[in-house]
Amino acid sequence: MELLKLAALDAEDLGVVSAHLQDAILRASDLAYLSAQHRFVLVARRFDWSGEEGAPPRRRLTGMHFDRVLKVRTRGITPGAESETPLELLAITFAPTEAPSGTATLVFAGGAAIQLDLECIEVQLKDLGPVWEVEGRPDHEAAAAGRAAIEGNA
């Protein structure tokens, strides 16, 4: 299979990038804000949702960066910190402010989040090559049920 390479220049494009990164696994040390370059970068192990029918589930090493980043805010994460705790990326959302500016939010399981104030959407994602088989596919229904049980809502 070919390596995935995507660019996002608007909210619709960012939705496509978000779909490909759903359930990606990373650590705080895989995140960095390069303030002098106005760039936020990450490396993740994305679940390959586009895998062939009947093929074993796989993950791929993927790099992504946001350009034209004006400010970064975090909740429950310290980018670049040495932590072995894995983070599961659920989605990337975008809330416009004064066009073309807005805020992109990387939403992680467990309530952690990163907000990026952007001059405009300018994102690139690229598979870096390595691919490996994994035990199973992410199960959103089971995860939601588990979270509800923990919170006492089940």
Phi, then psi, of 99 in degrees rounded to 5: -50, 135
| The pLDDT value given to residue 147 | 39
Task: Compute the C-alpha angle 84/81/5, nearest 5°.
Answer: 85
Chain-centroid distance of CA 60 in Å reads 13
Number of domains in the chain: 1
Number of H helices, E strands in the chain: 2, 10
Entry pTM: 0.84
Tell the burial category of 142 from Cβ atoms under 10 Å away from its Cβ (0-12, 13-18, 19+): exposed
Domain encompassing residue 141: 5-151
Q: Per residue of the chain (154 residues), give pLDDT as tens.
A: 588 999 999 999 999 999 999 999 999 999 999 999 999 999 999 988 776 677 788 889 999 999 999 999 999 998 888 877 899 999 999 999 998 999 999 999 999 999 999 999 999 999 998 787 777 667 655 444 433 433 444 4
| The pLDDT value given to residue 151 | 41
3-state secondary structure of 124: strand
| The pLDDT value given to residue 105 | 98
